[in-house]
Amino acid sequence: MVFPFPTGLDFSVEMKEEYEIFRKSVRAFAEKEIEPLVKDIEKSNTIPPSLLKKAAEQGYLGLGIPEKYGGQGTDMMYITLFVEEVSRICPAFTVATLIHSLFSFPIFAYGTEEQRMKYLPQIAKGEKHAAHATTEPGAGTDVAGIETTAKKVDGGWLINGRKYFISGADKADYFIVLARTSPPPSRKERHLGLTFFIVERETPGLRVGEKIEVIGIRGSHPNEVILDNVHVPDENVVGAEGKGFKIAMETYDHGRIGVAAQAVGVAQACFEKTLQYSLQRRAFEKPLIYFQAVQFHVSEMLTMLEAARLMLYWSATLANKNKPEAAMAASMAKIFATEVAEKAALKAITVHGGIGVASDGLVERFLRDTQVFKIYEGTNDIQKLVILRQMMRTTFGMDVD
């Protein structure tokens, strides 16, 4: 018995030749187009628009968007492999694709056909950029605690509030915004009364505020977004009024697989750089790889890396099959992979020595990036609650508060 999973068949990982062909093409793109610019991206904290344009030409911004709307399809494994391979070079670059999916997924899954036709093709082609605006100064992991409000008026809604830590806001043409449209029926039902809205950047009253400097993911900094009497028409409501919390949770379940993929890509980079350095760097007249302590570090990094990769591909496979256990697997993958990436970065710094702590050595940046991985898309501690609650719900039909 494999409790709490129904069957051992749920532990299969489905890979196919097409995936590997795609992986190789992404790796070639990342090494040719992104890697030469990594130092500049780290220093300027900006990804060149020309680079996003090249990615769009390859169809990478259309990952997760159905072909009907100009995308490459919704296969989660393709998304996973893209994020993993690009994060091996520059995790910040993948944030641009992840935030696009945080906008496109709820519209595809819950929006109207008119909304899909209007917004998704432009996002898929890279003609427009999008962001997901839920987090606030006093409500991040606690989505039900947001204070942004949307008041019903003739012909639409007036939105007021302040969003914080919104990735991609500086480039976004479109925002999907979560706001409270009615008070919760009770304290236990705080998640009710939330609704998603599409807000276009040029809408009067919307303003992208200060840039927020964070410890890692340089090249894709977040911003605050101010909404001051922003009027949106009724046709910009996404999904059923008052059911935004459910949409948000389903969206983040998919997003967590992307964060796990970022972490696996970073762990892969740390392993490769450490192995290469230990073969080239000499101490006491022989390469570092001849020292047992270094051998242990490299072996442990490889073991952790492959375990994290298997968990990542497993969660992506479950997502592709629309299994109810996919949400639990995504949270497991995020916890495990991000912690593996952190440990791999620390080991990489240890083996690299002085170069490992040099800001231009491009090793210590991975440790900074892992700290962000552990926070966004729901902190790792919150993922533990998600896992427990999902397990109790799917196996016993119980909701545990």
Active centre residues (catalytic): 377
β-pairing, 194-200 vs 237-238, is antiparallel
Q: How far apart are CA 212 and CA 224, in angstroms?
A: 8
Q: How far apart are CA 104 and CA 187, in angstroms?
A: 31
CA-based nearest residue to 53, from 42, 65, 61, 44 = 61
- For residues 193 and 180, the answer to whether their CB atoms sit within 8 Å is yes
Q: How far apart are CA 393 and CA 130, in angstroms?
A: 33
Which residues are registered as beta bridge partners of 238?
Answer: 196
Q: What is residue 208's three-state secondary structure?
A: strand
Q: How far apart are CA 382 and CA 70, in angstroms?
A: 35
CA-based nearest residue to 315, from 327, 303, 302 = 327
Residue 8 has a CB neighbour count (10 Å cut-off) of 9
